[in-house]
Amino acid sequence: MNDFRQPLSSTTYGGELSQAARNKVLRNTYWLLAVSLVPTVLGAMVGLSTGFNQIMGASPGITAILFLVGAFGLMFAIERNKNSSLGVALLLAFTFFMGMMLSRLLGFVLGMGNGAQLIMLAFGGTAAVFGTMATVASTTKRDFSGMQKFLFIGVVILIVASLANIFLQLPALMLTVSVMAIGIFSALLLVDLQRIINGGETNYISATLAVYLDLYNIFSNLLMLLGIFGGDRE
Protein backbone atom coordinates (compact mmCIF):
# COMPACT_ATOMS: atom_id res chain seq x y z
CA MET A 1 0.00 0.00 0.00
CA ASN A 2 2.90 2.34 0.55
CA ASP A 3 4.28 2.55 -2.97
CA PHE A 4 1.93 5.54 -3.23
CA ARG A 5 4.26 7.26 -0.77
CA GLN A 6 7.08 7.62 -3.28
CA PRO A 7 5.64 10.58 -5.21
CA LEU A 8 4.80 12.23 -1.89
CA SER A 9 8.44 12.46 -0.86
CA SER A 10 10.02 13.47 -4.15
CA THR A 11 10.81 16.94 -2.83
CA THR A 12 13.62 17.60 -0.41
CA TYR A 13 13.26 19.12 3.04
CA GLY A 14 13.97 22.75 3.44
CA GLY A 15 12.90 25.81 1.55
CA GLU A 16 9.96 24.64 -0.56
CA LEU A 17 7.42 26.31 1.70
CA SER A 18 7.41 29.28 4.02
CA GLN A 19 6.86 28.56 7.69
CA ALA A 20 3.29 29.85 7.43
CA ALA A 21 2.60 27.55 4.48
CA ARG A 22 4.10 24.59 6.32
CA ASN A 23 1.92 25.29 9.34
CA LYS A 24 -1.13 25.49 7.08
CA VAL A 25 -0.40 22.09 5.50
CA LEU A 26 0.18 20.57 8.94
CA ARG A 27 -2.98 22.13 10.38
CA ASN A 28 -5.13 20.99 7.43
CA THR A 29 -3.61 17.51 7.64
CA TYR A 30 -4.50 17.15 11.31
CA TRP A 31 -7.98 18.53 10.67
CA LEU A 32 -8.69 16.16 7.78
CA LEU A 33 -7.16 13.26 9.71
CA ALA A 34 -9.59 13.89 12.57
CA VAL A 35 -12.53 14.10 10.16
CA SER A 36 -11.45 10.85 8.49
CA LEU A 37 -12.03 8.97 11.73
CA VAL A 38 -15.79 9.54 11.38
CA PRO A 39 -16.28 7.53 8.15
CA THR A 40 -13.86 4.92 9.48
CA VAL A 41 -16.10 4.37 12.50
CA LEU A 42 -19.22 4.44 10.32
CA GLY A 43 -17.70 1.90 7.94
CA ALA A 44 -16.85 -0.40 10.83
CA MET A 45 -20.39 -0.09 12.21
CA VAL A 46 -21.87 -0.90 8.80
CA GLY A 47 -19.59 -3.91 8.45
CA LEU A 48 -20.61 -5.22 11.86
CA SER A 49 -24.34 -4.50 11.57
CA THR A 50 -24.73 -6.02 8.09
CA GLY A 51 -22.72 -9.15 8.82
CA PHE A 52 -20.11 -8.17 6.24
CA ASN A 53 -17.40 -9.00 8.79
CA GLN A 54 -18.64 -12.61 8.95
CA ILE A 55 -18.65 -12.88 5.16
CA MET A 56 -15.03 -11.71 5.11
CA GLY A 57 -14.12 -14.26 7.76
CA ALA A 58 -15.63 -17.07 5.70
CA SER A 59 -13.76 -16.09 2.52
CA PRO A 60 -10.28 -14.78 3.45
CA GLY A 61 -8.86 -15.16 -0.07
CA ILE A 62 -11.65 -13.17 -1.71
CA THR A 63 -11.44 -10.64 1.11
CA ALA A 64 -7.73 -10.12 0.46
CA ILE A 65 -8.39 -9.51 -3.24
CA LEU A 66 -11.23 -7.10 -2.45
CA PHE A 67 -9.03 -5.25 0.02
CA LEU A 68 -6.09 -4.87 -2.37
CA VAL A 69 -8.21 -3.85 -5.36
CA GLY A 70 -10.38 -1.46 -3.37
CA ALA A 71 -7.56 0.10 -1.34
CA PHE A 72 -5.10 0.57 -4.20
CA GLY A 73 -7.84 1.75 -6.56
CA LEU A 74 -9.05 4.41 -4.15
CA MET A 75 -5.51 5.51 -3.26
CA PHE A 76 -4.70 5.93 -6.95
CA ALA A 77 -7.87 7.98 -7.42
CA ILE A 78 -7.03 10.15 -4.40
CA GLU A 79 -3.57 10.93 -5.74
CA ARG A 80 -4.99 11.79 -9.16
CA ASN A 81 -7.45 14.25 -7.59
CA LYS A 82 -5.44 15.52 -4.64
CA ASN A 83 -5.56 19.12 -5.85
CA SER A 84 -9.35 19.33 -5.90
CA SER A 85 -12.25 18.92 -3.48
CA LEU A 86 -12.93 15.55 -5.11
CA GLY A 87 -9.72 14.35 -3.48
CA VAL A 88 -11.22 15.02 -0.04
CA ALA A 89 -14.40 13.13 -0.94
CA LEU A 90 -12.38 10.18 -2.24
CA LEU A 91 -10.24 10.18 0.88
CA LEU A 92 -13.34 10.01 3.08
CA ALA A 93 -14.72 7.19 0.88
CA PHE A 94 -11.40 5.40 1.30
CA THR A 95 -11.55 5.70 5.09
CA PHE A 96 -15.13 4.36 5.05
CA PHE A 97 -13.94 1.38 3.01
CA MET A 98 -11.06 0.81 5.41
CA GLY A 99 -13.48 0.90 8.32
CA MET A 100 -15.57 -1.81 6.68
CA MET A 101 -12.47 -3.94 6.15
CA LEU A 102 -11.55 -3.41 9.81
CA SER A 103 -14.92 -4.77 10.94
CA ARG A 104 -13.70 -8.37 10.63
CA LEU A 105 -11.03 -7.81 13.27
CA LEU A 106 -13.36 -5.71 15.41
CA GLY A 107 -16.00 -8.44 15.32
CA PHE A 108 -13.42 -10.98 16.45
CA VAL A 109 -12.29 -8.82 19.36
CA LEU A 110 -15.80 -7.76 20.39
CA GLY A 111 -16.67 -11.43 20.71
CA MET A 112 -14.38 -11.54 23.74
CA GLY A 113 -15.47 -10.65 27.24
CA ASN A 114 -13.14 -7.66 27.38
CA GLY A 115 -13.34 -6.76 23.70
CA ALA A 116 -14.43 -3.15 24.19
CA GLN A 117 -11.58 -2.55 26.65
CA LEU A 118 -9.06 -4.03 24.20
CA ILE A 119 -10.26 -1.72 21.44
CA MET A 120 -9.92 1.31 23.70
CA LEU A 121 -6.47 0.11 24.77
CA ALA A 122 -5.40 -0.27 21.13
CA PHE A 123 -6.74 3.20 20.36
CA GLY A 124 -4.87 4.65 23.34
CA GLY A 125 -1.68 2.87 22.33
CA THR A 126 -1.98 4.19 18.78
CA ALA A 127 -2.57 7.72 20.09
CA ALA A 128 0.53 7.37 22.29
CA VAL A 129 2.64 6.30 19.31
CA PHE A 130 1.29 9.24 17.30
CA GLY A 131 2.04 11.71 20.09
CA THR A 132 5.56 10.34 20.54
CA MET A 133 6.39 10.41 16.83
CA ALA A 134 4.90 13.87 16.38
CA THR A 135 7.02 15.17 19.25
CA VAL A 136 10.19 13.60 17.89
CA ALA A 137 9.47 14.82 14.36
CA SER A 138 8.94 18.40 15.52
CA THR A 139 11.92 18.62 17.90
CA THR A 140 14.77 16.57 16.46
CA LYS A 141 17.28 17.93 13.94
CA ARG A 142 18.01 14.50 12.53
CA ASP A 143 16.70 13.79 9.02
CA PHE A 144 14.84 10.47 8.95
CA SER A 145 13.97 10.56 5.24
CA GLY A 146 16.77 8.12 4.42
CA MET A 147 14.85 5.39 6.24
CA GLN A 148 11.99 5.42 3.78
CA LYS A 149 13.44 3.09 1.13
CA PHE A 150 14.26 0.42 3.71
CA LEU A 151 10.85 0.82 5.32
CA PHE A 152 9.16 0.46 1.94
CA ILE A 153 10.98 -2.83 1.42
CA GLY A 154 9.73 -3.89 4.84
CA VAL A 155 6.15 -3.05 3.86
CA VAL A 156 6.43 -5.14 0.70
CA ILE A 157 7.69 -8.07 2.78
CA LEU A 158 4.77 -7.62 5.18
CA ILE A 159 2.25 -7.68 2.33
CA VAL A 160 3.79 -10.81 0.79
CA ALA A 161 3.96 -12.57 4.17
CA SER A 162 0.36 -11.64 4.98
CA LEU A 163 -0.91 -12.96 1.65
CA ALA A 164 1.11 -16.15 2.04
CA ASN A 165 -0.27 -16.74 5.51
CA ILE A 166 -3.83 -16.78 4.14
CA PHE A 167 -2.93 -20.21 2.79
CA LEU A 168 -0.28 -21.27 5.32
CA GLN A 169 -2.27 -20.33 8.43
CA LEU A 170 0.83 -20.19 10.64
CA PRO A 171 0.16 -18.49 14.02
CA ALA A 172 3.86 -17.72 14.49
CA LEU A 173 4.02 -15.96 11.13
CA MET A 174 0.90 -13.94 11.94
CA LEU A 175 2.42 -12.78 15.22
CA THR A 176 5.71 -11.92 13.52
CA VAL A 177 3.95 -9.89 10.85
CA SER A 178 1.93 -7.95 13.45
CA VAL A 179 4.98 -7.11 15.56
CA MET A 180 6.99 -6.06 12.50
CA ALA A 181 4.08 -4.00 11.17
CA ILE A 182 3.81 -1.98 14.37
CA GLY A 183 7.52 -1.18 14.25
CA ILE A 184 7.65 -0.42 10.52
CA PHE A 185 4.55 1.77 10.43
CA SER A 186 5.59 3.62 13.58
CA ALA A 187 8.86 4.49 11.83
CA LEU A 188 6.96 5.47 8.67
CA LEU A 189 4.74 7.70 10.79
CA LEU A 190 7.83 9.49 12.04
CA VAL A 191 9.14 9.92 8.48
CA ASP A 192 5.79 11.18 7.18
CA LEU A 193 5.24 13.64 10.02
CA GLN A 194 8.75 15.03 9.71
CA ARG A 195 8.28 15.46 5.96
CA ILE A 196 5.11 17.47 6.56
CA ILE A 197 6.61 19.56 9.36
CA ASN A 198 9.78 20.33 7.37
CA GLY A 199 7.89 21.35 4.24
CA GLY A 200 8.68 18.28 2.15
CA GLU A 201 4.96 17.68 1.60
CA THR A 202 2.93 20.46 0.03
CA ASN A 203 -0.47 18.76 -0.32
CA TYR A 204 -2.51 18.11 2.81
CA ILE A 205 -4.66 15.41 1.17
CA SER A 206 -1.59 13.33 0.29
CA ALA A 207 -0.19 14.01 3.74
CA THR A 208 -3.40 12.86 5.41
CA LEU A 209 -3.50 9.68 3.33
CA ALA A 210 0.05 8.77 4.35
CA VAL A 211 -0.47 9.44 8.07
CA TYR A 212 -3.86 7.69 8.06
CA LEU A 213 -2.33 4.52 6.58
CA ASP A 214 0.37 4.54 9.24
CA LEU A 215 -2.11 4.90 12.10
CA TYR A 216 -4.54 2.38 10.62
CA ASN A 217 -1.86 -0.28 10.40
CA ILE A 218 -0.51 0.46 13.87
CA PHE A 219 -4.00 0.26 15.38
CA SER A 220 -5.10 -2.90 13.57
CA ASN A 221 -1.92 -4.83 14.33
CA LEU A 222 -1.82 -3.66 17.95
CA LEU A 223 -5.45 -4.74 18.34
CA MET A 224 -4.59 -8.10 16.80
CA LEU A 225 -1.85 -8.70 19.35
CA LEU A 226 -4.02 -7.54 22.24
CA GLY A 227 -6.79 -9.87 21.11
CA ILE A 228 -4.42 -12.82 20.95
CA PHE A 229 -2.59 -12.26 24.21
CA GLY A 230 -5.08 -10.32 26.31
CA GLY A 231 -8.46 -11.48 25.12
CA ASP A 232 -10.96 -12.97 27.56
CA ARG A 233 -12.54 -15.87 25.69
CA GLU A 234 -14.81 -17.03 28.47
pLDDT given for residue 35 in this prediction? 97
Encode pLDDT of 135-158 as tens digits: 999 998 898 988 988 999 999 999
Instruction: Using alpha carbons, list the distances in angstroms from residue 76 to 72, 102, 167.
Output: 6, 20, 28
pTM above 0.75, yes or no: yes
Indicate if the pLDDT at residue 181 is higher than 60.
yes
Least confident of 13-17, 20-24, 149-153, 225-229: 13-17
Amino acid code (one letter) for 156: V
**What is the rounded average pLDDT for all residues in the chain?**
89
Encode pLDDT of 82-98 as tens digits: 999 999 999 999 999 99
Find the mean pLDDT for residues 6-34: 72
CA distance 120 to 110: 11
Confirm if 21 and 201 have CB atoms less than 8 A apart: no
Percent of the chain at pLDDT exceeding 70: 91
pLDDT given for residue 212 in this prediction? 97
